[in-house]
Structure 1
Amino acid sequence: MFRRLFGDSKSKDTRSLSRTRHTNEQNQDALRTIDHLQQSEDMMNKKLEKYDEEILDLQNKARQYLTKSNPDRPGAIRLIKRRKQLELQRDKLWQMKQNIELVNEQVQTSHFNRQVTDSLNIGQQHLKRTQKLMPTKKIEDIIDNITEQMEISNEINDLLAAPILTNDLNAIDFDLENELNILDNEILKENMIQINLPDAHTEKIQVSSTNDVDKQLAELQRLTTG
């Protein structure tokens, strides 16, 4: 029952391993083919070089037969015939080599395309497995949780940075302000009394006018508060 619902993991692994083994065998087969074709090309190149050397040698010998004091024309003709036969064989071999090169290029291109296709397939399978493990809804939930935690952290920071005030401290500040005002008024009255008292050596008490008193009070207020 569980195998029908969730599948057989062992069978999946076996199929995956079988596909991997098959792919490796194909890659090895392609590499062996490319190597065999390359060896054939090398062998043909050596054979073509040998043909060229023999053809050149026959050509030189035929010229020597004709440049003798007593030219050997029949001998020169035999050498020329042999040269032409070798040229025909060389041309056929050269064409065969061209065909081998073409096939080798096609095999290499096919092998390269197969490797690219296998790589794309592996990447696609990896992406599919990853996306199954991380669906869009799960990613959205993660982002929402991160955002919520950041908001909570910011609120905590704001609370910790706020000044701590209590009712007792507020009451103390209010009482201190009242006492300070009372003390200012007492100092102001004492200064007013000292201003109005006459000096001991003066014979006549000089009474200040109302405007002068107001100015003096204003000056004292400025001095005490400033």
Structure 2
Amino acid sequence: MPLKLFGKAQKAPSAQDSIRKLQETLEMLEKREDYLQKKVNKELEIAKKNAVSNKRTAMMALKRKKTYEGQIDKLSGARLTIEQQLMTIEGAHVSLEAMNAMRMGARTMKTIHNHMTVDQVDDTMDEIREQMEVAAEINDAISQPLGGELYDESELEDQLAELEEEVLKENRQEVPVNKAAEPKDVLPDFPDVPNNKLSEEEQELAALQAEMGMTF
């Protein structure tokens, strides 16, 4: 049912409009969470700095930090709800587009088949097969030699034997003389140089240990 505002019906938003609005809202919530997280980090630094020298200031900072964290939790819940809505709308929109495409395809196929029946296809295929047989017969007739054989089979066999003998003779003359294999230079083995470079994991571990040492 269309929504009414001051007596006028409101047009239902399209799927694209709803998706765009939800995406904009998600972006706004993410920016707000980033801002509040920076506030949380700042209050935590204040609390650490005054934990010994000014406990009252440190306690106030922790209270503000707790308040900011509560706001972040609420924003996270809202983000989760909007993300679920966005995925649902996007999925429904994709399904609708797919259905519209399939419906259009069905109408197109129906239009095409109105101009083509199974009997017409069978008749056309019979005509194609018949014409292919005619073409094959024509090709066979054209390929038949005129005036008998164009060559003497025994003469060709004699020429082939002469060529074979000539090739074998040339191959015997071109056989190279095997030379003694020359010794290859062998490089002396050198001892392995120790690798003093730390691996990436060892560097990260050293950095963490150094940071923990500074913290404590």
- TM-score interval, smaller chain: 0.5 to 0.7
1:126 is displaced (CA, Å) by: 1.3
User: What is the distance in 2 between the residues matched to 1:84 and 1:153?
Assistant: 91
1:34 is displaced (CA, Å) by: 1.5
In structure 2, the residue matched to 1:129 is 111
Amino acid aligned to 1:50: Y
Amino acid aligned to 2:125: I
Amino acid aligned to 2:26: E
User: What is the distance in 2 between the residues matched to 1:65 and 1:107?
Assistant: 50
User: What is the distance in 1 between the residues matched to 2:21 and 2:83?
Assistant: 11
Question: What pairs with 1:80-99 in structure 2 (closer than 5 Å)?
Answer: 80-99=62-81
1:84 is displaced (CA, Å) by: 1.0
In structure 1, the residue matched to 2:17 is 32
Asked if 1:63 is matched to 2:48, the reply is: yes
Identical aligned residues as a percent: 25
Asked if 1:142 is matched to 2:127, the reply is: no
Provide closer, same or farther for how the CA distance between residues 136 and 76 of structure 1 changes in structure 2, counting only shifts above 3 A.
same
**CA RMSD of superposed structures (Å):** 2.9
The structure with higher relative contact order (CA 8 Å, sep 6+) is 1
In structure 2, the residue matched to 1:117 is 99
In structure 2, the residue matched to 1:104 is 86
1:90 is displaced (CA, Å) by: 0.5
1:137 is displaced (CA, Å) by: 1.6
Which of 32, 35, 38 matches 1:50?
35
TM normalised by structure 1 equals 0.50
Provide closer, same or farther for how the CA distance between residues 153 and 81 of structure 1 changes in structure 2, counting only shifts above 3 A.
closer
The SS at the match of 2:14 is helix
User: What is the distance in 2 between the residues matched to 1:65 and 1:160?
Assistant: 107
1:55 is displaced (CA, Å) by: 0.8
Instruction: Provide structure 1 residue ranges, at least 5 long, that are not aligned to the other structure.
Output: 1-25, 163-226
Higher helix share: 1
1:95 is displaced (CA, Å) by: 1.2
Amino acid aligned to 2:124: I
1:159 is displaced (CA, Å) by: 9.1
1:60 is displaced (CA, Å) by: 1.3
Work out the number of aligned pairs and report it.
133
The SS at the match of 1:66 is coil
